[in-house]
Amino acid sequence: MNPALNPSLLPLRDIHLPSAVTWWPLASGWWVLAGLVLVLMVIAWIRYRCGWRHRAALKALNVVTEQLRNGADCVVCVQRVSEILKRFVMTTAADSKSVAGLTGDGWLQFLDDCWNKTSFTGGSGRLLLKLPYSGFPADRAEALKLSRLCVDWVKSQPRGK
């Protein structure tokens, strides 16, 4: 060691460690991730809100159709189809109180007005009025036709509310 260079005489400072890294403020990547998660949550909520009634009604109608194909009682199945349609309309209609009281031809006319066709008042939809209260055995093909008509009707209804 050089005797002219005495370390104790040098103006040196002690080593200072940097401060600990904090979690706040977040790095920009975390902000992007948080924004993306928020956008995906909003999209999922909108999709859920707009389509869950349709999916539930279609699922229930498909179950009834499958029961009809497997030999279930047609009268019970048509009653179930009528109940599914009424519940669907009561949850999606703008004025559900006026819909709740509809029966008979008024109910069929309402269903036809919702899609500008006459499949309920003048087609296989009349089975909704005739079969559940007649007590007579029904034609399985007519009941299947009615269930397909109701599936098409639910699919034609606007989503979202």
How many structural domains does the chain have?
1
In a domain, 96, yes or no: yes
* CA-angle at 132, arms to 114 and 98, nearest 5°: 35
pLDDT band for position 51 (50/70/90)? confident
pLDDT of residue 1: 55
Looking at residues 134-143, what average pLDDT do you find? Answer: 79
Q: Phi and psi for 79 in degrees, rounded to 5?
A: -60, -40
In a domain, 93, yes or no: yes
In a domain, 10, yes or no: no
pLDDT band for position 161 (50/70/90)? low
Evaluate if pTM is beyond 0.75: no
In a domain, 6, yes or no: no
In a domain, 5, yes or no: no
Closest to 84 in 3D by CA, of 101, 113, 62: 62
In a domain, 61, yes or no: yes
Domain that holds residue 79: 53-156
